[in-house]
Structure 1
Amino acid sequence: MVKENSQLFILVFLGVLTAFGPFVTDMYLPTLPAMTEYFNTTSSQVQLGLTASMIGLAAGQLFFGPLSDKYGRRLPLIIAMLLFLLATIGCLISSTIMQFVGWRVVQGVAGAGGIVISRSIAADKYSGRELAKMLGIIGAINGVAPIAAPIAGGGMAESLGWQGIFWTLFCLGIILLLGSFHFKESLSEERRGSTCWKDVYNEFIAVIHNRRYLCYIFQFGFAQGVIFANIASAPFIMQQHYGFSPLMFSVFFGVNAIAIVISATYASRFAHPEKALYRGSLGMVIVSFFLMIALCLDCNFWIYEILLIGLLSMIGLTFTSSNTLALDCERSNAGIASALLGALGFAFGGIVSPIVGLGNIMVTTGITFFIGSVFSLSFTYMALHRAFYMAQYYKK
């Protein structure tokens, strides 16, 4: 009899793996000005490191997802952690900014392995409401990690510098590598797919043809786009427009993160995740509409903050539900399904982030919030309508 990992270990391990990608992407953001001087380059070239890591995070999930379906979760996870350690050393010894950017792509690919495999492990070990609860925790971490990472990096920036932050990431990689060796395989050999990569391509096509799954991941993608629009705009709105110090900005950023955690956790209490998804998506549209009007009218800070907390709470409600429903309807290809889900989320984040900087940031942020929320609700409606149709069909 194969010994299983404890539920506590699985919970902590999956939680850290989920937060790993956003910390790889965002933790060093407060040190970008110092890196500009270190590499003797422009700020735009230094920011390529952020873009490169997001490209890696999106592409890496498409690689590690099917790989974990074919060879199990443990071996690809160990490979991802070893690759991350190598890439982090590469970043630290880079002598030019382009070398650094190249290693950041590799770092993003490796970080993606942790994200996609963590969701696949959850789908392997749990189902129904248990899966919803586990994904609720993962969703909460997934929502708060991109916000917490820059705050943690800001706390270390002055004393450790950007190299110190990357050494911290290296130590985190060591811990996760040790955890990967301790992890007991969750995907038995009889449940693994064919090792023929032509079949992997066919499985990708089969997953993409699942229209209900596509609706769920596009809902998640647009919701993730709203999250990244907030991450990109909040530093400028709070510090430049409202005049807050970096410390006060961090405090309110943390409060907003708590709103996502609470709502993502609460979503698992719904008897039917479809209901949580619909209410969260509808709430996103309503709150984002008022937030858009408020930002366009140059509202005071407290109106902005209260409405933003409401919007993030609605998004947290949808994260758990969309992840649960998407993976439930593609359980036989959990790795590929999880890969597409995560890749789409980071792709949307990469597209939306620079948009809020066009023109008046208050206006463009409000409009981006509202448009993303409307599309999220549209895909929710299409997914639930299709699920109802299929349920009626199978009753006949």
Structure 2
Amino acid sequence: MGFAAISTDFYLPAMPAMARSLHASPEALALTISGFLAGFSVGQLFWGPIGDRFGRRIPIACGLVLFIIGSLGCALSSSITIMISWRVVQAVGACAGVVLARAMVRDLYEGARATAMMSHLMTITAATPLLAPTIGGQILAFGSWRSIFTVLTVIGVLIFGLLFTLPETFPPNRRHHEPLARVFAHYKDLLLQPRLIGYAGAGGCLYAGMFAYISGSPAAYINYYHVSPSYYGLLFGLNIIGIMGANAINARLAHRLGSDRLLTLGGGIAIASALSLTVTGNTGWDGLWGLAIPLFFYTATSGFIVANSLTGALHQHPRRAGAVSALVGAIHYGSGILGSALVGAFANGTPKPMTAIILGFSLLGVFFLLLLKAPQKVT
């Protein structure tokens, strides 16, 4: 589950050195991130049905091989174009484990227990961005930026070996044995399920806002409020701790309140936080903390929204958990790319575009939450 974060956050401290070594502009270097996100989003749509057809372990193993090859290719890249190409390969491989890990939770657990387990996984996933840049910086202190991708290659090999300690969670009698072309066509059927779109859309709106925050907060904090880069890292880390705390609370409340109510609660907190953020961001009221405090509560809602949107979607389609996990994941990360792109398109040197985009997607999330009232259809 942590592959998405380590694949990018590990090398963030090395980006200036990469730019010099590969003679790349900042815009070209940014494509190593957006190219990874695009490959990660689309790649999930491939691995989900494969996992429903062949089980979980074999596709994860194949994805790990691609991740290892892509990471090694990045380490050996001689130009930014080659680097971007290998990043896409790395992303397609990395997303296999992520999408099928979520499906494995559905294979093993149901109801509130599934919600709690998903929250535990999300807590670990949230911790990864907190640690990865620090680890990457330490690697960079003893080697070049290529060493970071070499370490990622080694991590891929180690996880590949550990994969053999995991049992297969999706037995042959539960798998789909129809031709893969037909299996991929089932995405159309899934897209016609209102409740599934409700869960996926609610999570997608959160991802769009979160990526707007990730893309817009450096300029808002460092350029607009003149926060030092190290202090910015502290503020970013506090938000991740908030996400981890919310996931822990979500896991404890799952049995009492249920995933739908917790998802709605998260959506309500997100709207309240986004409204406060918009007011302070546009008026400058209370300065830096007027921005930082609402952002803390907004990002923390990830702990309620992501796990519950995934659990709710997977609950309806246990025999197609791989495809559902892939579709929801692709919508989540695709929405994230949109949120990030909108911040870039409307950037004006102030926090206003970021706050407006966060508010807009938070309000849009209400529409998707209303779709959860549609009749439930389990397949």
- TM-score grouping bracket, smaller chain normalisation: over 0.9
Answering whether residue 71 of structure 2 is matched by residue 85 of structure 1, we say no
1:158 deviation in Å?
4.4
Corresponding residue of 1:298: 284
Deviations 1:193-231 (A, max 9, x none): 014113213322222221110111011111011111111
For residues 85 and 350 of structure 2, the distance between their equivalents in structure 1, rounded to whole angstroms, comes to 30
Corresponding residue of 2:374: 386
Aligned residues: 371
Answering whether residue 274 of structure 2 is matched by residue 285 of structure 1, we say no
For residues 338 and 146 of structure 1, the distance between their equivalents in structure 2, rounded to whole angstroms, comes to 22
Normalising to structure 2: TM-score of the pair? 0.93
For residues 245 and 141 of structure 1, the distance between their equivalents in structure 2, rounded to whole angstroms, comes to 28
Corresponding residue of 1:315: 302
2:11–2:148 contact (8 Å) kept in structure 1: yes
For residues 333 and 77 of structure 2, the distance between their equivalents in structure 1, rounded to whole angstroms, comes to 25
Answering whether residue 356 of structure 2 is matched by residue 367 of structure 1, we say yes
Say if 1:152 and 1:245 are closer, same or farther in 2 by CA, change over 3 A. Answer: farther
For residues 204 and 356 of structure 2, the distance between their equivalents in structure 1, rounded to whole angstroms, comes to 17
Corresponding residue of 1:246: 229
Say if 1:178 and 1:386 are closer, same or farther in 2 by CA, change over 3 A. Answer: same
1:77–1:117 contact (8 Å) kept in structure 2: yes
Say if 1:67 and 1:307 are closer, same or farther in 2 by CA, change over 3 A. Answer: same
What SS does structure 1 have at the residue aligned with 2:144? helix
For residues 375 and 381 of structure 1, the distance between their equivalents in structure 2, rounded to whole angstroms, comes to 10
Answering whether residue 208 of structure 2 is matched by residue 220 of structure 1, we say no
1:132–1:320 contact (8 Å) kept in structure 2: yes
Corresponding residue of 1:5: none
The percentage of counterpart residues that share the same residue type is 26
For residues 279 and 370 of structure 1, the distance between their equivalents in structure 2, rounded to whole angstroms, comes to 16
Select which of 87, 110, 129 maps to 1:104. 87
Deviations 1:79-114 (A, max 9, x none): 111111111111111112111111110000001101
Answering whether residue 43 of structure 2 is matched by residue 57 of structure 1, we say no
2:15–2:29 contact (8 Å) kept in structure 1: yes
Equivalent position amino acid for 1:295 in 2: G
1:25 deviation in Å?
2.9
**Comparing 267-276 with 105-114, which one deviates more in the overlay?**
267-276
For residues 232 and 157 of structure 1, the distance between their equivalents in structure 2, rounded to whole angstroms, comes to 24
**Comparing 328-337 with 20-29, which one deviates more in the overlay?**
20-29
Corresponding residue of 1:348: 335
Equivalent position amino acid for 1:386 in 2: A
Select which of 320, 341, 364 maps to 1:333. 320
Say if 1:242 and 1:148 are closer, same or farther in 2 by CA, change over 3 A. Answer: farther
What SS does structure 1 have at the residue aligned with 2:196? helix
Deviations 1:138-167 (A, max 9, x none): 233344545554454345444433212212
**Comparing 216-225 with 178-187, which one deviates more in the overlay?**
178-187
2:223–2:349 contact (8 Å) kept in structure 1: no
Corresponding residue of 1:14: none
Structure 2, unpaired ranges of 5+: none
For residues 317 and 205 of structure 1, the distance between their equivalents in structure 2, rounded to whole angstroms, comes to 28
1:122 deviation in Å?
0.8
For residues 6 and 364 of structure 2, the distance between their equivalents in structure 1, rounded to whole angstroms, comes to 28
1:170 deviation in Å?
1.5
Say if 1:234 and 1:160 are closer, same or farther in 2 by CA, change over 3 A. Answer: farther
1:264–1:319 contact (8 Å) kept in structure 2: no
What SS does structure 2 have at the residue aligned with 1:187? coil
Deviations 1:36-68 (A, max 9, x none): 111112221121111111111011111111111
Q: What does 1:1-396 correspond to in 2, within 5 Å?
A: 18-146=1-129, 148-268=131-251, 269-270=253-254, 271=256, 272-299=258-285, 300-357=287-344, 358-383=347-372, 385-387=373-375
For residues 146 and 213 of structure 1, the distance between their equivalents in structure 2, rounded to whole angstroms, comes to 28
**Comparing 237-246 with 343-352, which one deviates more in the overlay?**
237-246
Structure 1, unpaired ranges of 5+: 1-17, 392-396
**Comparing 266-275 with 220-229, which one deviates more in the overlay?**
266-275
Say if 1:200 and 1:342 are closer, same or farther in 2 by CA, change over 3 A. Answer: same
For residues 66 and 318 of structure 1, the distance between their equivalents in structure 2, rounded to whole angstroms, comes to 24
For residues 93 and 296 of structure 1, the distance between their equivalents in structure 2, rounded to whole angstroms, comes to 46
Say if 1:375 and 1:332 are closer, same or farther in 2 by CA, change over 3 A. Answer: same
What SS does structure 2 have at the residue aligned with 1:182? coil
Equivalent position amino acid for 2:250 in 1: A
Deviations 1:330-357 (A, max 9, x none): 2121000000111111111112113223
1:65–1:339 contact (8 Å) kept in structure 2: yes
1:72–1:186 contact (8 Å) kept in structure 2: yes
For residues 48 and 250 of structure 2, the distance between their equivalents in structure 1, rounded to whole angstroms, comes to 26
Normalising to structure 1: TM-score of the pair? 0.89
For residues 157 and 366 of structure 2, the distance between their equivalents in structure 1, rounded to whole angstroms, comes to 41
